[in-house]
Amino acid sequence: MTDLSHLDRRSLLRLGGLAAGGVGLGLAGPGVITPTRAAAAEVSVECDAGQNENPFLWKSAELQSHFGISPHMVGLPFVGQYEKLVTDLTARSAVYDVLVFPPYFLGDFVQLGFLRELDPYFHLLDPKLADYLPVYRDPVIKRNGKTYALMFDGDLLQVAYRSDLFGDPEEQKNFKAKYNHDLAPPTTWDEYMQVAEFFHRPPKLYGTAFYAQRGFCYAWFINIFAGFGGQWFGKDMKPAIDSDAGVRALALLVEMKKYAPPNILQIDYPTLNEIFLNGSTAIVVQWDDLALKVENPAMSKVVGKGGFAPCPVRSYMPYSRVMAVSAFSKNPDKAYQLASYMQQPEVSATYVYDPDCGQDPYRFSQLNVADVKNHLGKPTMSEAAAKSYVDAIGAGLKAGYPELSIPGAPRYIDLLDLYVNQALAGSLPPKAALGACANEWESITEAYGRKTQQAAYDAWIASFRAVGLQY
């Protein structure tokens, strides 16, 4: 070890200064040497942590070379994202430039002034909105006629079933003998229950499964509720969730537990994927990206055995993801360029069919069987499976049922989820659970102001009626 005892204090300070300077130069070195990296503007992108950050990472080099943008990912937990964003943005934090979140936050975020209007930035890079599927355009990214977000992920619930079981002549014969009609992807919820009952052969094969854990179980309820003709609110913003359609839908979901694995109340998004991918379930309703995972041998034991169809009657469109520019961003131009680039037709087509991320189609140009490839351009499905998948998305979107997106939507939805979960857990009967939920909804509506909420709800309904969705 070097003996420094002979050095006086001043010499030691000089030596320390030189050492610190050397370390500093070393750290700063690559930035000084590489002009492109030094010029790159860092744009922080908030996104729920995990697979949904991947598209930004895959496009990082392109963003740098085209716009001099270096995306800095800030991953937030999937559950808890809303509270974290509201807390940070209320404090006017500039920590995020681009915000990636589900559109049901949009009502609150626009009202609270968290987002920049994007129309004035369109000249920087045309977002090509004419190519958006209409259900994802005005109803999802606009409020009061202004654009506040761009699409990143078009979510939709879809039926995935075991095509090998459905195609088995013996199964077909037995099914027809029992239910007096052909074994086929269900078009009504009664048919869905028959399929679930027929294939329920525990412990090797369960009839069905669904997201029953607290957090998103409401979506599986709304999916059935929509099929029974239910609506979120009725006249004068009175909750319609506890209508006959609601009680029937929740009772059916509770009954569906009979044909599900015993740990049904623990089943969330990855678990639901897993129990279909390991071949232990005959039919499930899941977000549409399950299809890509089914055909991926690294993830699935049922490659080539997956069939895909729209949900019976209506297909609920829960979650999705949009990209918006924070009102507090210090670099809104670059933030907009990043968001706009990521959703360009030729860019988004390279990730919406990749099983290593959770993004799903939202443009006309993406509904193309030839585009069902991963981000490296390798096909992710057989042509037949890809056709079944893309057709199911197209058919599902035609009968899509949009997610509530008015001020207070996260709170309405969270309470609905709690009470649906209470019914699934057996703590409350369906009618009582939905009645209690309706009471809570009334207090939210009162707090926001009934007239204000009615106006927001009417505008929201009008936006998707205008694109041809029934309600």
Partner 1 sequence: MTAPAFNAPAGWPTRRAVPGRRFGWLLVTPALAMFAANCIFPLVYAVLISFQHYQMLIPVPPRFAGLANYVAIFSDPLFWSSLKVTLWFLAGVIFLQFPAGFALALLLDRLPKRADLAATVLLIPTIIAPSVVAFQWIQLYNYQFGPINFLLGLAGIARPTWTGSPSLALPSLMVVDFWEWTPFIMLLLLAGLRALPTDIIEAARVDGSSAWQVTLRMRLPLLRPVIGIAAVLRVLMSFKLFDIIYVLTAGGPGAATENLAYFTYIQAFRYFNLGYASALAILQLILVIVLAKALLALTRQSGRQVLPA
**Applying CB under 8 A, which residues contact partner 1?**
79, 82-83, 86-87, 90, 108, 111-112, 213-215, 261-266, 407-408, 410-411, 414, 418, 421-428, 436, 447-449
Nearer to partner 1, 41 or 86 (CB): 86
Nearer to partner 1, 109 or 389 (CB): 109
DSSP state, residue 79: T
Would you give the distance in Å from CA 159 to the centre of its chain?
A: 16
Q: Work out how close the CB of 110 gets to partner 1 at its nearest, in angstroms, rounded to a whole number.
A: 11
Q: Work out how close the CB of 300 gets to partner 1 at its nearest, in angstroms, rounded to a whole number.
A: 17
Tokens of 324: 């918006």
Nearer to partner 1, 36 or 278 (CB): 278
C-alpha span between 236 and 8 (Å, rounded): 84
Pairing between strand 150-153 and 157-162? unpaired
242 within 8 A of 428, measured Cβ to Cβ: no
Q: Work out how close the CB of 344 gets to partner 1 at its nearest, in angstroms, rounded to a whole number.
A: 33
Nearer to partner 1, 213 or 315 (CB): 213
Q: Under the phi-then-psi rule, with left for phi > 0, alpha for psi from -120 to 50, and beta for the rest, what region is 186? A: beta
Axis crossing angle, helix 189-198 with helix 244-256, rounded to the nearest 10: 10
C-alpha span between 254 and 319 (Å, rounded): 23
Q: Work out how close the CB of 280 gets to partner 1 at its nearest, in angstroms, rounded to a whole number.
A: 9
Q: Work out how close the CB of 435 gets to partner 1 at its nearest, in angstroms, rounded to a whole number.
A: 11
- Cα–Cα distances (Å) from 43 to 86, 213, 250, 325, 332, in that order, read 20, 35, 44, 11, 9
Q: Work out how close the CB of 457 gets to partner 1 at its nearest, in angstroms, rounded to a whole number.
A: 16
C-alpha span between 471 and 49 (Å, rounded): 34
Q: Work out how close the CB of 176 gets to partner 1 at its nearest, in angstroms, rounded to a whole number.
A: 34
Q: Work out how close the CB of 271 gets to partner 1 at its nearest, in angstroms, rounded to a whole number.
A: 9
Q: DSSP characters for 319-333?
A: --EEEEEBTT-S-HH
Residue 169 contacts by C-beta under 8 Å, 6 or more apart in sequence?
none
Identify the sign of the CA torsion 387, 279, 319, 187. positive
DSSP state, residue 205: B
C-alpha span between 150 and 162 (Å, rounded): 35
Q: Work out how close the CB of 171 gets to partner 1 at its nearest, in angstroms, rounded to a whole number.
A: 26
Q: Work out how close the CB of 260 gets to partner 1 at its nearest, in angstroms, rounded to a whole number.
A: 11
Nearer to partner 1, 214 or 363 (CB): 214
Nearer to partner 1, 57 or 447 (CB): 447
Nearer to partner 1, 54 or 421 (CB): 421
- What's the CA angle centered on 138, arms 135 and 144, to 5 degrees? 150
Q: Taking Cα atoms as reference points, which of 148, 49, 156, 105 lies closest to residue 413?
A: 105
Q: Is 466 helix (H, G, I), strand (E, B) or coil?
A: coil
Nearer to partner 1, 402 or 407 (CB): 407
Nearer to partner 1, 110 or 390 (CB): 110
Nearer to partner 1, 338 or 415 (CB): 415
Residue 70 contacts by C-beta under 8 Å, 6 or more apart in sequence?
37, 40, 41, 42, 43, 60, 63, 64
Nearer to partner 1, 96 or 136 (CB): 96
- The 8 Å CB, 24+ separation contacts for 380-383 are 380/292, 380/295, 380/296, 380/353, 380/354, 380/355, 381/291, 381/292, 381/295, 381/353, 382/295, 382/304
Q: Work out how close the CB of 373 gets to partner 1 at its nearest, in angstroms, rounded to a whole number.
A: 33
Q: Work out how close the CB of 391 gets to partner 1 at its nearest, in angstroms, rounded to a whole number.
A: 33
Nearer to partner 1, 163 or 405 (CB): 405
Q: Under the phi-then-psi rule, with left for phi > 0, alpha for psi from -120 to 50, and beta for the rest, what region is 277? A: alpha
